[in-house]
Structure 1
Amino acid sequence: MKISRSLQALALSALVFCTGAQADERSDPGKREYMDRCAVCHGQSGKGDGGMIDILRVAPTDLTTLSRQNGGVFPFDRVYSVIDGRQAVKGHGSRDMPVWGKAYGSETVRAGEHYGDMPYTMEMYVRARILSLIDYLNRIQAR
């Protein structure tokens, strides 16, 4: 799934606008996703120093250096495909990192519980969660 750069920018802008760009987890769905799903391995700071590091075969990636390792550009497409499960994580052998796209899609939580009476489908709900997480990862990049 190729997402155009303008659509990416629009989606990320909407997410930042909707969250008020606040760092508080209660009002920052991307940070909340990260802390709930990623911090256990990648650490609260995103530097790959989470609590599971001692039992993992391969050290988790320092997620704060994704842009630096990609010529100063945040690798949106690659990050999206890793999170939703379309791209395997190199060096992990079998898929050790959970595939959140599939996990989100199989949850029994109704999208309406999170968005009120708005006409969201489960696919839209999954995409919103992934985009929120990607927005947060983009915001924690080392400068």
Structure 2
Amino acid sequence: MAEMLAIRTPDLTRLAAQNDGVFPIEAVARQIDGRAPLLAHGGEMPIFGPALDSDQKVALTMPDGQPMFAGVPLANVIFYLESIQIE
């Protein structure tokens, strides 16, 4: 499937390494919830934001110390991606 995409699939374990060692929480959230759409194969991909939204919110701490509120399901995906980062 990866060879059919118009862009190279990212190595999700190296997001921090590609961002000067800082996990890009906001960019990851925007990509997952659809606020920063990426046309990967010439057309719109499903936007998962509504599926990952929740009335229950948690505050994620951005690299600059500011909070970003996200639904619990989205926060769980972000925490997971952050946990699998390698150097």
Range class of TM-score, shorter chain = 0.5 to 0.7
Residue of structure 2 in register with 1:103 after alignment: 51
Residue of structure 2 in register with 1:65 after alignment: 14
2:83 counterpart letter in structure 1? R
Q: Distance in 2 between matches of 1:95 and 1:62?
A: 21
Larger Rg: 1
Question: Does 2:26 correspond to 1:77?
Answer: yes
Residue of structure 2 in register with 1:127 after alignment: 71
Residue of structure 1 in register with 2:37 after alignment: 88
Root mean square deviation of aligned Cα: 2.3
Higher helix proportion: 1
Aligned length: 74
Q: Distance in 2 between matches of 1:134 and 1:104?
A: 11
Q: Which has the higher contact order (CA 8 A, sep 6+)?
A: 2
Residue of structure 1 in register with 2:84 after alignment: 140
TM-superposition CA deviations, 1:18-40 (whole Å, max 9, x none):
xxxxxxxxxxxxxxxxxxxxxxx
Query: What TM-score do the two structures reach when normalised by structure 2?
Result: 0.67
Query: What TM-score do the two structures reach when normalised by structure 1?
Result: 0.44
Q: Distance in 2 between matches of 1:132 and 1:139?
A: 10
- CA distance 1:94–1:56, shift in 2 (3 Å): same
State the percentage of identical aligned residues: 35
Q: Distance in 2 between matches of 1:68 and 1:59?
A: 17
For structure 2, the 5+ residue unaligned runs are: 58-69
2:48 counterpart letter in structure 1? W
Q: Tell me if the contact between 1:53 and 1:59 (Cα under 8 Å) persists in the aligned partners.
A: yes
Query: Deviation at 1:94?
Result: 4.0
For structure 1, the 5+ residue unaligned runs are: 1-51, 106-121
Q: Tell me if the contact between 1:80 and 1:134 (Cα under 8 Å) persists in the aligned partners.
A: yes
Secondary structure of residue in 2 paired with 1:73: coil
Q: Distance in 2 between matches of 1:70 and 1:57?
A: 22
